[in-house]
Amino acid sequence: MRVTKKSGYGLVAMAELAQNFGDTYVSTKDIAERYELPRPFLEKIMRELKAAELVEVKRGRGGGYELAEKPKEISVKSVISVLEESQLAPVNCLLPDEEDPCPLEDNCPTLEVWKAIYEKFLEVLQSFTLEDLLVYFDE
């Protein structure tokens, strides 16, 4: 259930795109400079978000990235799920296709608690959208 720098940086970039939605495309260079993020890593993140069709890209002068949908239509969960490859489970036994099964898998006294925690975590991530992040921008 650990959210990595990759998702953190991705959310920062998506919040920046939400802030500029409908006005202008935003370059990775501008985002990287504004937030002091490593540009090559940010570019990789943005390619993944583009492949997931969460952002669109415009090449050339005045180009950059823009959200593919309105900020209120993109959940924080959708962004993090792309960047974490849906590996947000708090314990390995909840991960799909786990190669190293837990020896307690069939008789685990804590499994239901972990499932409940995971479900609530996903619900909270789904409940927030990029529009919700806009309140944290300076006016």
Q: Are 25 and 65 in contact (CB under 8 A)?
A: yes
User: Could you tell me which of 79, 70, 59 has the C-alpha nearest to residue 14?
Assistant: 79
Q: Hey, is 66 helix, strand or coil?
A: strand
**Side-chain half-sphere CA neighbours of 59 within 13 A:** 0
Query: Model pTM?
Result: 0.86
pLDDT at 64: 94
Tokens of 5: 């720098």
List the CATH number of the domain containing 126: 1.10.10.10
For residues 26-49, give the mean pLDDT. 96
**Domain containing 35: what range?**
5-136
Q: Quick: pLDDT tens for 69-116.
A: 999 999 999 999 999 875 788 887 877 666 677 777 778 899 899 999
Looking at the 3D structure of the chain, how many domains does it have? 1
Is the pLDDT reported for residue 5 higher than 80?
yes
Q: φ and ψ at 9, to 5 degrees?
A: -65, -40
Where are the strands (E) in the chain, listed by range? 55-58, 64-67
The alpha-carbon radius of gyration of the chain (Å, integer) is 17
